[in-house]
């Protein structure tokens, strides 16, 4: 590890950032193949301005510029709590496991960091124990995987399934043992205090740098609107990396999708009212019919003839509702009377049978 000079204190943020990226500065000593990059320095200075003066910065720079360090250096030097959102889990891990350790050694400033993924990435201790200790009805492959998860679960600090590199992405039992909201029984859980999700929240709440991804950011924002269940702690500053992906993700969480299939699906749920399927007590098959539903024949009136000249049905025309109860609510209509008489007349039924 090279000997790195600490960032001089008591100077402005911009000056401190310049010093970090300067040739012969701390970063050049810590980073293999370091080169002074004008675009990176320009972006770092612009980010530092926002931390110093507030506002919003929209920055775009070519691939490989070193944008990650360009925002991480001023963010950490500012000593503010910062939320960073990335498009991919891979970048989350790169920042947490690669870039931040370099800066921890380089900047001479102590800071804490946490990365947060969606709940589905974490092992639910309660569910897993129930599965492990329950009746063994698993295939041989699943039984081997359960044993491996058991071993890992005893030493993992995060419970993030990404640590289990050999676990297949489509491991069929994972949905049953993931710490999703659907699986979680909340504060009643006997493992609540050592639950990985509880601990992830606590770590994030105590960290200077909180790294999330756009999916979690949007999921959290959508529950924040109802002021319930948010997991991301409040931060004064937010940096959205790979921001070109945010639009698609935000659309998934806040948009409305329309398709032929969904129209079909809605149409299937809207069935015409029937006497047995509705709780309404009056007939709704025709305007003006106030028959008790139990007495209504359920028939629909014939539609009004179409007026070609006006381009609409003829006003006030069309056949009256065939149910006579439209006029006399207490009098069963003829078809209802007929059905009732059939039910009540055993002799008639018998005669029909024979
Ligand atoms: N000044 C520098 N000199 C040498 N290497 C650098 C410098 N700054 C960053 N790097 C390295 O360059 C690589 C790319 O950096 P980074 O991931 O930040 O690029 P980027 O601008 O975000 O690109 P992309 O748009 O592809 O995401 C990293 O490995 C990083 O450590
Ligand atoms: S608190 Fe919820 S997610 Fe955590 S272990 Fe218990 S049931 Fe699982
Ligand atoms: Mg990048």
Token output for 329: 């609510």
Please give the average per-residue pLDDT across 22-47, as a whole number. Answer: 93
Does this model's pTM top 0.75?
no
Please give the average per-residue pLDDT across 174-203, as a whole number. Answer: 92
Spatial separation of the C-alpha atoms in residues 240 and 244, rounded to whole Å: 9
Among the atoms of ligand 1, which is closest to the Cα of residue 98? Answer: 31
Q: What is the Å distance from ligand 3's center to 9 Cα?
A: 29
**Does residue 104 line the site of ligand 2, with CB under 6 A?**
no
Q: What is the Å distance from ligand 1's center to 67 Cα?
A: 6
pLDDT at 245 over 90: yes
pLDDT at 158 over 70: yes
Distances (CA, A) of 177 to 58, 174, 214: 40, 5, 24
* Average pLDDT of the chain to the nearest whole number: 79
Q: In the chain, which ranges are E strands? A: 82-86, 113-115, 209-213, 237-240, 306-307, 312-313
pLDDT at 247 over 50: yes
Ligand in closest contact with the CA of 121: 2
pLDDT at 97 over 70: yes
Ligand in closest contact with the CA of 177: 2
Which one has a higher pLDDT value, 321 or 169? Answer: 169
Among the atoms of ligand 2, which is closest to the Cα of residue 119? Answer: 3
Indicate which residue's Cα is closest to atom 24 of ligand 1: 63
pLDDT at 90 over 60: yes
* Beta carbons of 115 and 96 less than 8 angstroms apart: yes
Q: Give the binding-site residues of ligand 1, using a 6 Å CB cut-off.
A: 31, 33-35, 37, 40, 63-69
Please give the average per-residue pLDDT across 260-279, as a whole number. Answer: 67
**What are 295-311's pLDDT values in tens digits?**
555 555 555 555 565 55
Which one has a higher pLDDT value, 196 or 10? Answer: 196
**Does residue 107 line the site of ligand 2, with CB under 6 A?**
no
In the chain, what are the helix, strand and coil shares in percent, each to the nearest 5?
Answer: 45, 10, 45
**Does residue 184 line the site of ligand 2, with CB under 6 A?**
yes
If one residue of 69, 73, 86 were mutated to test the ligand 1 pocket, choosing by the most ligand atoms within 8 A of its CB, it would be: 69
The pLDDT of residue 257 is 78
The pLDDT of residue 270 is 75
Among the atoms of ligand 1, which is closest to the Cα of residue 35? Answer: 3
Q: Taking Cα atoms as reference points, which of 179, 222, 214, 219 lies closest to residue 199?
A: 179
* Beta carbons of 19 and 25 less than 8 angstroms apart: yes
The pLDDT of residue 322 is 46
**What are 216-230's pLDDT values in tens digits?**
999 888 876 554 456
**Does residue 200 line the site of ligand 2, with CB under 6 A?**
no
Indicate which residue's Cα is closest to atom 8 of ligand 2: 124
Ligand in closest contact with the CA of 39: 1
Q: What is the Å distance from ligand 2's center to 159 Cα?
A: 12
Ligand in closest contact with the CA of 129: 2
Residue 242, sorted as left (phi over 0), alpha (psi -120 to 50) or beta, turns out to be left
Low-confidence winner among 17-26, 115-124, 147-156, 223-232 (lowest mean pLDDT): 223-232
Q: Taking Cα atoms as reference points, which of 165, 144, 161 lies closest to residue 153?
A: 161
Ligand in closest contact with the CA of 123: 2
pLDDT at 317 over 80: no
Q: What is the Å distance from ligand 2's center to 336 Cα?
A: 57
End-to-end CA distance of the chain: 103
Low-confidence winner among 39-43, 150-154, 164-168, 312-316 (lowest mean pLDDT): 312-316
Q: What is the Å distance from ligand 1's center to 325 Cα?
A: 80
* Beta carbons of 182 and 216 less than 8 angstroms apart: no
Write down the residue that tokens 């380089």 correspond to: 106
Indicate which residue's Cα is closest to atom 3 of ligand 2: 179
């Amino acid at each position: 590890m090279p000997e790195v000079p600490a960032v001089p204190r008591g100077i402005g943020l911009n000056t401190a950032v310049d010093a970090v990226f300067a040739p012969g500065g701390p970063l050049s000593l810590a980073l293999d193949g370091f080169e002074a990059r004008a675009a990176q320095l320009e972006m770092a200075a612009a980010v530092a301005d926002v931390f110093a003066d507030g506002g919003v910065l929209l920055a775009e720079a070519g691939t490989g510029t070193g944008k990650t360090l360009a925002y991480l250096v001023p963010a950490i030097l500012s000593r503010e709590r910062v939320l960073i959102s990335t498009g991919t889990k891979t970048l989350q891990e790169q920042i947490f496991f690669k870039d931040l350790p370099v800066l921890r050694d380089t900047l001479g400033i102590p800071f804490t960091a946490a990365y947060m993924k969606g709940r589905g990435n974490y092992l639910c201790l309660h569910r897993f124990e129930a599965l492990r200790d329950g009746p063994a009805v698993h295939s041989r492959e699943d039984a081997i995987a359960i044993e491996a998860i058991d071993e890992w679960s005893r030493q993992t600090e995060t419970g993030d399934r990404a640590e289990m590199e050999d676990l297949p992405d489509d491991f069929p039992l994972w949905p049953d043992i993931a710490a999703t909201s659907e699986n979680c029984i909340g504060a009643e859980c006997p493992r609540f205090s050592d639950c990985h999700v509880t601990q992830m929240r606590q770590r994030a709440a105590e960290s200077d740098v909180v790294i999330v991804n756009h999916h979690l950011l949007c999921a959290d924002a959508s529950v924040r609107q109802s002021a319930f269940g948010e997991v991301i702690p409040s931060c004064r500053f937010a940096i959205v990396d790979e921001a070109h992906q945010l639009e698609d993700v935000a659309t998934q969480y806040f948009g409305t999708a329309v398709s032929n299939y969904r129209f079909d699906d809605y149409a299937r749920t809207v069935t015409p009212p029937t006497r047995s399927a509705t709780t309404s007590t009056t007939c709704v098959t025709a305007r003006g019919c106030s028959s008790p539903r139990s007495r209504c024949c359920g028939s629909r009136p014939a539609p009004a003839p179409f007026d070609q000249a006006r381009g609409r049905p003829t006003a006030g025309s069309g056949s009256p509702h065939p149910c006579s109860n439209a006029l006399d609510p207490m009098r069963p209509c003829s078809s209802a009377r007929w059905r009732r008489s059939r039910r009540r007349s055993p002799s008639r039924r018998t005669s029909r049978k024979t």
